[in-house]
Structure 1
Amino acid sequence: MITRRPGLAALVLGLCGAVAQAREQVQILPQTQAAEQELSAKIALKRYFFTSSPADGVDDDSLPGTAQLGLDYQYLQSWDNLRLRLVVNPRYLASAKRDPRPDFYWDELFVLLEQDSRELKVGRIKEHWGVMETRQLVDVINTYDNLDGLQPEEKLSQKALKLGSSLGPGHLSLYLLDGFEPVQFYREPARFAAYRVQSEAEYIHGADRDGLDVAARYFVSVSDLDIGLSYFKGTNRAPAFRTAGDSLVAQYTEVTQWGLDAIWVREQWLYKLEALDQRVSDSAYNSRKLSVGLEYAITRAWRDADLSLIGEYHRDQDQRLAPVSIFDRKFLLGARLELNDAHLSSLFLGYTAQASDLGNNMLSASLDLGLSDALRAGVSAVLVNSSSSDAVWDALASDSHLALELSYSF
C-alpha cells in the first residue's frame, strides 16, 4: 500500500484557490462567458413487500422502506477553451432505525477543470466502468451500497483526484484514491443480508482503510470496437469473510488488479466482454473472472419501442479464501424494451440461473415509468428459487419481493 500523504481536503482547497486566482486574471478578457448555475431537487420514496417469511433469525423490520431527499447543484464557468464545473449533490436518507447507513451523505462533491482533451477532477466522485448487465467486473473505483436489494446499483462516492488526457488514439485516466467506503452490513441478519457480520472489519496483507490507492484506465474506440484496459492497486472494494463463532468477519486485502472490458457492434448485434485478474500477496485470495455477453437489437419492435434481447454468462476461478462469488457458472437471459416515449420509460425482464443447477434461479422484472417531466414511478419484482444445493442461494430464497418507488423532481 502506498504511504499515506495529506488528504484530498488540502488538494481541494489548493485547487479552489488556484481557480479563484485564475478567474481574477481572466475576468478582464472579453472571451469570458457568463456563469451558468443549475439547482434541482428530488424526493424519492421506496417500499418493499416480501412474499415469504424471513429465514430463521432474520430481522424482518430492517428494510421496510426508505425516503430520500436529494439536491443537485451545478456551477459552470467558461473562458475560451477552459471550463470550470462545480458539482454539489447532498443527500438525506430516512430509513429504519437499524439501518447502518448515515442520514446525510454526499452523492457527489467535486470540482472539474477541462481544457481541450484534458481534465482534472478532485473531490467525491463516481466512475462507471464495465459493459455487462448482471455485474461489472472492472468497476473498482466505488463501493456499492449492498443494503438496497439483491442486485444493488447505488454507488458510494469515492474521495479521489483524477487526471485525464488524450493519448494516442484513446484517452488515459489516472486516479489517486484517498481511502474508501467499506461495505456496510446490518449488525443482525436482515433481508438481503442473512448472515451476522461483525462491525469491525480486518485489514490484512497490506490493506488500509485510510490509505492511498492508485488506478488507471485507457479507453480506445476503433471503428465499431470499444476497448477499456484498467489497472488498480490498493484495498479491495469487495471483502472476503472468515467465520468467527456464529458470525462472519469481513476481511479486506491489498490487491493488484488488471481488467479488460470491450464492446463490439456489428449491425444489430452487440458483443460484450469483461475479464479480471486479481492478485494478493497471499495467493489463497487470488481470483480470475470472466463475463461474456451479447445483445440483439430490434428497432420499432412495437410501435416506437425498441427491443433488446440479452444473454450473459459468467465464469469465476477463485482461490479458497477469495471473496465469495455468486456468479460462477451463472447466466442471464433477458429483454429490455425502451418505449421511446416523452419521458423515456422502459421495461426489463430477466431470468438468471446457475448453469450447474437450474433449480437455483431468479426471475426479475422492472418497470421505470415516466408519468410527467417531474414524476416517475418504478415497480420491480424478484422471485428467487433454490434447490437447497448452494448455501448462498438458500440464504436468498426467502427474499423474493416486490418494490415500489415514486420520485418527484423539481
Structure 2
Amino acid sequence: QQHEGNLSVTVESEFYHDWDDDNQRIVFTPFARIDQHDSERSHLDLREFYWRKTFNNTDLYLGVRKIFWGVTESLHLVDIINQSDTIENLDGEDKLGQPMVSLSYSSELGDWSLYILPWFRERTFAGVEGRVRPPFVVDQDNAQFESSDEEKHIDSALRWSHVIDDWDIGLSYFHGTDRTPQLIPQMNNGVTTLRPYYAQLDQLGVDAQYTYESWLWKFEAVSRRHDNRLSANLNRSKAAVGGFEYTWYGLFDSATDIGLVMEYQYDSREANQAPIANNDIAIGSRLTFNDVQDTTLLALVASDLDQRERFISLEGSRRLGDNMSVNIEARFFSNATPLTQLFSLRDDDYLELLLTRYF
C-alpha cells in the first residue's frame, strides 16, 4: 500500500585531506537515508571516496566519484558515467557513486579525460510502499544483463572539452552497460513485477553552450547503438535537446534577476518505447533574488507535442540563518494518456519540503 504522506531523514558528510603541496587529495562523502515507509528508500551509499594525484597537467583519480557532463536544463542526455539514484529524485541529477580509474590531461587544445569503470551499479527504484514508481513493483533482486559479465563488465569512456571564445564544447564516447534499463513485465509468485534488463551500449555525445550578452544557447545530442537481444528495433537511436536561456538582470531596478528558459526535446524511438521526453517542448523561468539568504525559484513545464501530456516542475531554495536551509520541490503529471510512461505516474503528484541543517 502506498501512502499519501511520508517522512524521511538523510545524512551526508564530506571529508577531505590535502598534502604533498596540494598535489594529493583524498575525499570521502558518505550518504544515508532512513525512510518512514519504503525499505528500498532506506539505503547507504558512498557518493565519493577517491584519491587524486596531480602530475603537472595530469590528474590521476582512483576510487568512487561523481562526474557530470552536460549543459541543458530540462534533460541531461550526455551525462552517462554515474547511475541515477531515482529514489532520491526523478530529474536524474542525484547519482550513485561510480567506482573508477580516471586520467585527466589539460592542454591548450582542450581537456582530455579517460575513464575505466570496473563495476556497474544498478538503478534504484521505489518499493511496494514507496513513491514515485510504476504501477508494478520493480524486481531489483533479479536484474538481467546483456553481458555475461553482468555487473562486473568493465565499461570505458572518453571525453574532450574545450572553451573557444564564447563557446563551451564537449565530445564524448561511452562503451559499456546502459545506465537506463528496460523494464520487462514478468510473473513472480502470481504477482506481476517489472524485471530490469541492462543492454550493452555505445554512445557518442556532443554538448555545446554559446554565451552572447544575456543569452545562453545550449545543445546536447547523442547517437546510441545497443546490443539488445530482446528488442532489435531499439538497437540504434538518436536523441537531442536544445534551446536557450535569456536573463533580465536587475529587474525593476532591484537585485532580482529573471531568466526565461525554452528547450526542445527529441528522441527517435517509437512512442511506446521512447522515454517521456521524445517530442516535447519545455518552457520555464528562473528567479534569482541575489539576497543574503540566496533565494532562488525555478518553474518548468514540459509538454508533449503529440499526446499533449504535461510534466510540471517547481523548485525553490532559501537559507535560514548560518546553518540551515529550506528547499521546496513539486512535481505534477497531467493529461497522461494510456500506453505512455507518464500514464503510470498519473497518481504520483507530490510536494516535498526539505529542511537541511549544516554542521
Give the match's secondary structure for 1:121. Answer: strand
C-alpha deviation, 1:101, in angstroms? 4.5
Contact 1:343/1:372 (CA < 8 Å) preserved in 2?
yes
Match of 2:314 among 361, 365, 376: 365
Query: Residue type of the partner of 1:276?
Result: V
Verify: 1:326 aligned to 2:272, yes or no. Answer: no
Deviations 1:256-297 (A, max 9, x none): 111100101112111111111111234433321111111101
Contact 1:207/1:253 (CA < 8 Å) preserved in 2?
no
Provide TM-score, normalisation by structure 2. 0.90
**Aligned match of 2:172:** 230
In structure 2, runs of 5+ residues without a counterpart are none
In 2, the alpha carbon distance for the partners of 1:187 and 1:69 equals 21
C-alpha deviation, 1:326, in angstroms? 0.7
In 2, the alpha carbon distance for the partners of 1:230 and 1:384 equals 33
Contact 2:307/2:337 (CA < 8 Å) preserved in 1?
no
Query: Residue type of the partner of 1:193?
Result: R
Match of 2:292 among 342, 366, 375: 342
**Aligned match of 2:35:** 95
In 2, the alpha carbon distance for the partners of 1:321 and 1:203 equals 22
Alignment of 1:293-312 (within 5 A): 293-302=243-252, 303-312=254-263
Deviations 1:27-85 (A, max 9, x none): xxxxxxxxxxxxxxxxxxxxxxxxxxxxxxxx314971320122211111243xx6111
Query: Residue type of the partner of 1:239?
Result: P
**Aligned match of 1:402:** 351
**Aligned match of 1:355:** 305
Query: Residue type of the partner of 1:365?
Result: L
In 2, the alpha carbon distance for the partners of 1:111 and 1:205 equals 30
Give the match's secondary structure for 2:278. Answer: coil
In 2, the alpha carbon distance for the partners of 1:73 and 1:171 equals 27
Q: CA RMSD in A?
A: 2.1
Match of 2:49 among 102, 105, 109: 109
Deviations 1:157-216 (A, max 9, x none): 000111000245200000000212101224437421123222311101566211211101
**Aligned match of 2:195:** 249
The higher radius of gyration belongs to 1
**Aligned match of 2:154:** 212
Contact 2:275/2:341 (CA < 8 Å) preserved in 1?
no
Verify: 1:184 aligned to 2:124, yes or no. Answer: yes
Contact 2:111/2:160 (CA < 8 Å) preserved in 1?
yes
Alignment of 1:158-169 (within 5 A): 158-169=98-109
In 1, the alpha carbon distance for the partners of 2:149 and 2:281 equals 32
Match of 2:11 among 61, 69, 86: 69
Contact 2:104/2:113 (CA < 8 Å) preserved in 1?
yes
Alignment: residue pair count: 348
Given the superposition, is the C-alpha separation of residues 362 and 103 from structure 1 closer, same or farther in structure 2, using an over 3 Å criterion? closer
C-alpha deviation, 1:97, in angstroms? 5.2
Contact 1:182/1:237 (CA < 8 Å) preserved in 2?
yes
Provide TM-score, normalisation by structure 1. 0.80
Give the match's secondary structure for 2:13. Answer: strand
In 1, the alpha carbon distance for the partners of 2:31 and 2:225 equals 36
Match of 2:337 among 377, 388, 393: 388
Alignment of 1:29-68 (within 5 A): 59-61=1-3, 64-68=6-10
Alignment of 1:88-167 (within 5 A): 88-96=28-36, 98-101=38-41, 103-167=43-107
Give the match's secondary structure for 1:325. Answer: coil
Give the match's secondary structure for 1:209. Answer: helix
Deviations 1:333-368 (A, max 9, x none): 00111121224221111111111132x112222210
In 1, the alpha carbon distance for the partners of 2:213 and 2:149 equals 45
C-alpha deviation, 1:108, in angstroms? 0.9
Verify: 1:314 aligned to 2:260, yes or no. Answer: no
C-alpha deviation, 1:230, in angstroms? 0.4
Query: Residue type of the partner of 1:394?
Result: F
Query: Residue type of the partner of 1:169?
Result: L
Given the superposition, is the C-alpha separation of residues 389 and 248 from structure 1 closer, same or farther in structure 2, using an over 3 Å criterion? closer
In 2, the alpha carbon distance for the partners of 1:109 and 1:63 equals 34
Given the superposition, is the C-alpha separation of residues 364 and 187 from structure 1 closer, same or farther in structure 2, using an over 3 Å criterion? closer
Query: Residue type of the partner of 1:252?
Result: Y
**Aligned match of 1:274:** 220
Give the match's secondary structure for 1:275. Answer: strand
Query: Residue type of the partner of 1:234?
Result: G
In 1, the alpha carbon distance for the partners of 2:247 and 2:143 equals 45
Contact 2:181/2:196 (CA < 8 Å) preserved in 1?
yes
Over 4 Å off, 4+ runs: 319-322
In 1, the alpha carbon distance for the partners of 2:275 and 2:34 equals 31
Once structures 1 and 2 are overlaid, which stretch shifts more, 231-240 or 242-251? Answer: 242-251
In 2, the alpha carbon distance for the partners of 1:235 and 1:140 equals 10
